[in-house]
Structure 1
């Protein structure tokens, strides 16, 4: 990997102080027979948990048609009317970064094509969401030619990144790209950095509404040198082998400073199949880190409390669970519908942020 320049922009770890959390209110409903009110309630539950327990404000992108619903369900949030296609702002929104002084906010605008041009969605407006959010806070826009999403990027804040091959090298995203070219795209933003490549994501994430392997169901950093990994304990589930390979890979890896990683297993929920018999990708890894708390995905499962205890110990923060089953039924979890913004003066002078 080339190290031809020092890092000028840094992506802070999620454990660092945040200015606020962004969400995008759902603007289309799927599966086609899904209950819109169930989706609205699921997004509202995450937003309200952050507002009431996380210790930071929430800003929600809303379409004009859904503005009233969002205001009723999340009355303490700031609403910004911006046209968008979907509710997965982790993926369509920007990756926030700070400059070397920590005083300037940047926003990486990855190319977004709806998880490899998935046939069930549209993304003409979502492809502009990163720029729209950046303009709201006067962040410097850092365009990238790499097609990817925030759900396939986890960092320790010190130049180490976790990614998956099936996302970054997906021919429907980055046809003909190599690991080296992806690493060069990261270096153009972050300077010298290290990517740790996982071969794939969880099995169900390759289904009809999946992302083809996002990292934020599989592993995340709880701090420098400390990684939490989804551990499927049922040997019948195909993710048992997936998670064992991830544990071994990360246990044998070092971070950008050459230091070994400490791996903590987080058990998968005990339930392994849905009502139709399909494998589940329910994951406690897909939590939201806030300034004062962790907003955890729970599933009405026997392993919920066990996982909550591990998260509480790993982050040394309170854990507040939400029922994530309606989110996962639509293709993701609490982390997928949120995007953290590092703390800088807010609102910035001349900010276009508007209350509704």
Structure 2
């Protein structure tokens, strides 16, 4: 039976995708350079802890070779979108078959097929990555993205109604059908449903509520939650609602789970409205955590301390994630872990 390991389980490597020109990267030279640098900085931070493989569109090979450390493996394949958590496969293992590695190939339609998205090439990337990793492809008829789910590694998955049940993604799905597919592909025996994600994530370029910016499992009995403490920000109420939903769901399952709030940075707005800057969107690596930084010295330090306590024995490295958030996501969104198999 396939099961998705916790992100804190040992990794073979992390997969990423290098940016390419298009609406996501930006329409000026300055914006594009900022995007290239942000993705590169994350790759180099991850590479301090484990190998990194980078899928690169043929148009960007020369730039990728120039900007990336030589230790980072380059895999050439056509791309349009480059959020590897969402376009790539979700890796799983089979405890009954030592050495077995699976790769769930969800249907990807650009987060609900919005008019602006270019996603047809990246919809094929999961199979490219799976083949390169030597993984068995597990087909799914569910439109889903890796950023729309989080697991604890022992059978529980976090989901949001506005992603999995989005009529632009899965018009005929209900919770029961989604849970059955999570059981088949990820080995999930329990689903914890949240009603929504952060406010900014419902804008034109958002994902409609990905869970990986709201809540994550640090361990099966410990959840980290985005906590917006400023009552003028709409995510103040979202944080309160989500905390209540988490506590009620785990109580119904008869589980004692600690929910720790990670306070948001003090910045509330940018030129486009309410920000969704969240420390929850981090990547756990072998011996480390690559954490979003936001240029807020006190808030960044406080988040790093909370995260270090949540993942004992791991070193926390901050990377400025503001350019990534400007484009619709964070560090977790642009990375995908491949678990180590015996």
TM-score, length-normalised on structure 2?
Answer: 0.95
CA RMSD of aligned residues (A): 1.5
| Cα deviation, residue 86, structure 1 | 1.5
Q: Distance in 1 between matches of 2:239 and 2:258?
A: 15
Aligned partner of 1:89 in structure 2 is 84
Aligned partner of 2:230 in structure 1 is 234
Which among 50, 55, 65 is matched to residue 61 of structure 1?
Answer: 55
Conserved 8 A contact 1:107-1:134: yes
Aligned partner of 1:29 in structure 2 is 22
Conserved 8 A contact 1:158-1:256: no
Q: How does 1:259-274 map to 2 (within 5 A)?
A: 259-274=255-270
Aligned partner of 1:4 in structure 2 is none
Cα offsets for 1:158-215 (capped at 9, x unmatched): 0100010000000000002111111111122244511100000000001121100000
Aligned partner of 2:46 in structure 1 is 50
Aligned partner of 1:318 in structure 2 is 315
Q: Which runs of 5+ in 1 are unaligned?
A: 1-7, 346-356
| Cα deviation, residue 254, structure 1 | 2.3
Per mean C-alpha deviation after superposition, the further-off stretch among 68-77 and 264-273 is 68-77
| Structure 2 CA distance for partners of 1:256 and 1:95, relative to 1, 3 Å | farther
| Structure 2 CA distance for partners of 1:21 and 1:192, relative to 1, 3 Å | closer
Aligned partner of 2:142 in structure 1 is 146
Which among 207, 214, 219 is matched to residue 210 of structure 2?
Answer: 214
Conserved 8 A contact 1:253-1:260: no
| Structure 2 CA distance for partners of 1:234 and 1:192, relative to 1, 3 Å | closer
| Structure 2 CA distance for partners of 1:41 and 1:269, relative to 1, 3 Å | same
| Structure 2 CA distance for partners of 1:256 and 1:41, relative to 1, 3 Å | farther
TM-score, length-normalised on structure 1?
Answer: 0.91
Conserved 8 A contact 1:160-1:255: no
Aligned partner of 2:117 in structure 1 is 121
Q: How does 1:1-356 map to 2 (within 5 A)?
A: 8-30=1-23, 32-34=26-28, 35-52=31-48, 55-75=49-69, 76-101=71-96, 102-191=98-187, 193-254=189-250, 258-276=254-272, 278-301=273-296, 302-316=298-312, 317-344=314-341
Conserved 8 A contact 1:253-1:261: no
